[in-house]
Structure 1
Amino acid sequence: MNKPLFQLKDVVKTVHPNGGQPLNILDHVNLDIHSGDFITILGSNGAGKSTLFNAIGGNLPITSGHILLNGNDITKTSVTKRTQFLSRVFQDPKLGTAPRMTVAENLLLAEKRGQSRFLVPRHLKREMAKYQQLTSQLHNHLSERLNTPTGNLSGGQRQTLSFLMATIKKPEILLLDEHTAALDPNTSNELMALTEQTIKEQHLTCLMITHHLDDALKYGNRLLVLNQGQIEYDFSGSEKQAMTKQDLYQFFNPAN
């Protein structure tokens, strides 16, 4: 097998709740992620899912261990510099977009993610045809609202925009943090279909936190189960394909 694209090596994040005894909310996590992996992540509340994403994204400095990209240690790399190779879509549709900027302006901004900013012409008009095609992938009328401020969009339209912004530059690592959880079932299904299509077409490497057991089973080539800050299970291949919702329920109700 090829060398991992991304690695967590013995990663620990320790906190002291209310000034009390130390608690490892990430507890010696080791994870190899290979190019093209689409990893779905399950875990009960407090299992460490968001903490894991915050550590990968650089939002939360780890206590010990190492984080590597292509074999290079990025443990101390800032959040800003990580945007050069990493994108994230959050659960809240209001995050990840600039509400007073139009849809087209947000997409243009996303294309310049990780670049140095200079006072140069935006050339927005010449990009409009491309943005029209990009936003027409879902039948939610986003393509008709390129000149609309993002704050005036519906939740589904805004989350679609967030996803398009996160993938427009083909990041090396894509983090999807329950990105369909705030959407109605129909909109959620449409965005998940676009997610799978985009990941396949662009050969993206993706980690997706979800509470939808059906999505955890249907999508991705690997399934991780987190518990108390540790990766308790890592299923792939035929083992993942053979799993059922009843199997997954056992991880949340081990006594049953």
Structure 2
Amino acid sequence: MTEPIFELNDIVVTVNHGTPEQINIMDHVNLSVFPGDFITILGSNGAGKSTLFNVIGGNLPVTSGQILLNGKDITNMSVEKRTRFLSRVFQDPKMGTAPRMTVAENLLLSEKRGQRRGFAPCHLKTHMDKFKQITSVMNNGLEHRLNTATGKLSGGQRQALSFLMATIKRPDILLLDEHTAALDPQTSQELMTATNDQITRNHLTCLMITHHLDDALKYGNRLIVLDNGRITYDIAGDEKDNLTKEELLSFFNDIEE
């Protein structure tokens, strides 16, 4: 039997300790992520989706419980050290890139993620053919803008670059935090198609927050529903494949389609 690559064991995150407003925003969460899992995550506002990602990324300390990577306890590991095995793409296209650096310079920088480095632009030319090939898979013309400052790209191109930067080193865990939500519908679907292709082709292990029911049903091999800091549904395989939009809507209320 395949062993999980990543585990959350009985994770609790408590805020407002010792006050009448004390609450568990992560309430005894257990989650096993297996190699090659592509998990879509749904939940109404305040359900705990961002909290879950912040716990996985190390941005939010846990009150109790244990986080394991390949069986090793990383509960107290820093955000910086987690970048050696984890990448995250945020909703805002501006968050994952350096606007004054070119597309190629951003990609070169991302190749050194999690390493001690001295950035040397003089070596950029030797990487251009590789970067052109890498960017061409996004099918949005990014390969023709390698020498363009990232701040001058369209939102879709910039978010595609963020995705490429997050995956160029093949992270053990990829977190997609509503990475298409800030884009227009057509650009969103183009990026989602490219995202799915790259995750599938490169056998990446990914968790993706989305508010789009259709995307949650269409993509990935597992679907998780969060409610009040708990995982209320974890559906995989044939059960997910046969799940209808109407059945999914019945799981919870107040979710944007």
Same fold (TM over 0.5): yes
Is 2:89 the counterpart of 1:85?
no
The CA distance in 1 between the partners of 2:152 and 2:120, in whole Å, is: 28
Is 2:179 the counterpart of 1:179?
yes
Structural RMSD (CA): 1.6
Aligned equivalent of 2:51: 51
The alpha-carbon distance between structure 1 residues 242 and 128, as it changes in their structure 2 partners (threshold 3 A), is same
The CA distance in 1 between the partners of 2:23 and 2:172, in whole Å, is: 31
The CA distance in 1 between the partners of 2:186 and 2:119, in whole Å, is: 42
CA drift of 1:187 comes to 1.1
Contact preservation (8 Å) 2:35, 2:205:
yes
The CA distance in 2 between the partners of 1:221 and 1:24, in whole Å, is: 29
Aligned equivalent of 1:60: 60
- Equivalent positions of 1:220-231 (< 5 A) are 220-231=220-231
CA drift of 1:142 comes to 1.3
CA drift of 1:19 comes to 5.2
The CA distance in 1 between the partners of 2:120 and 2:164, in whole Å, is: 24
CA drift of 1:111 comes to 0.4
What SS class does the counterpart of residue 9 from structure 2 fall into?
strand
Aligned equivalent of 1:131: 131
CA drift of 1:122 comes to 4.9
The CA distance in 1 between the partners of 2:121 and 2:165, in whole Å, is: 20
CA drift of 1:167 comes to 0.4
Residues 59-114 of structure 1 deviation map (CA, whole Å, 9 limit, x = unaligned): 11111111000000001111010000000000110111111111000000000000
Contact preservation (8 Å) 2:105, 2:121:
no
Greater mean alpha carbon deviation, residues 52-61 or residues 135-144 = 135-144
CA drift of 1:140 comes to 2.1
Runs of 4 or more, structure 1, over 3 Å off, are: 17-20, 118-122
The alpha-carbon distance between structure 1 residues 122 and 205, as it changes in their structure 2 partners (threshold 3 A), is farther
- Residue identity opposite 1:110 in structure 2: S
Identity %: 69
What SS class does the counterpart of residue 84 from structure 2 fall into?
coil
What SS class does the counterpart of residue 192 from structure 1 fall into?
helix
Greater mean alpha carbon deviation, residues 156-165 or residues 198-207 = 198-207
What SS class does the counterpart of residue 36 from structure 2 fall into?
coil
The CA distance in 1 between the partners of 2:33 and 2:118, in whole Å, is: 35
The CA distance in 2 between the partners of 1:11 and 1:122, in whole Å, is: 46
- Residue identity opposite 2:64 in structure 1: S
Aligned equivalent of 2:28: 28
Q: How many residue pairs get matched?
A: 254
The alpha-carbon distance between structure 1 residues 27 and 243, as it changes in their structure 2 partners (threshold 3 A), is same
The CA distance in 1 between the partners of 2:135 and 2:120, in whole Å, is: 25
Greater mean alpha carbon deviation, residues 194-203 or residues 51-60 = 194-203
CA drift of 1:119 comes to 6.4
Where does the alignment leave 5 or more consecutive residues of structure 2 unmatched? none
The CA distance in 2 between the partners of 1:152 and 1:40, in whole Å, is: 31
- Residue identity opposite 1:28 in structure 2: H
Contact preservation (8 Å) 2:29, 2:231:
yes
CA drift of 1:147 comes to 0.9
Where does the alignment leave 5 or more consecutive residues of structure 1 unmatched? none
What SS class does the counterpart of residue 138 from structure 2 fall into?
coil
Greater mean alpha carbon deviation, residues 130-139 or residues 20-29 = 130-139
**When the two structures are superposed, what TM-score results if normalisation uses the length of structure 1?**
0.95
Greater mean alpha carbon deviation, residues 188-197 or residues 100-109 = 188-197
The alpha-carbon distance between structure 1 residues 17 and 183, as it changes in their structure 2 partners (threshold 3 A), is farther
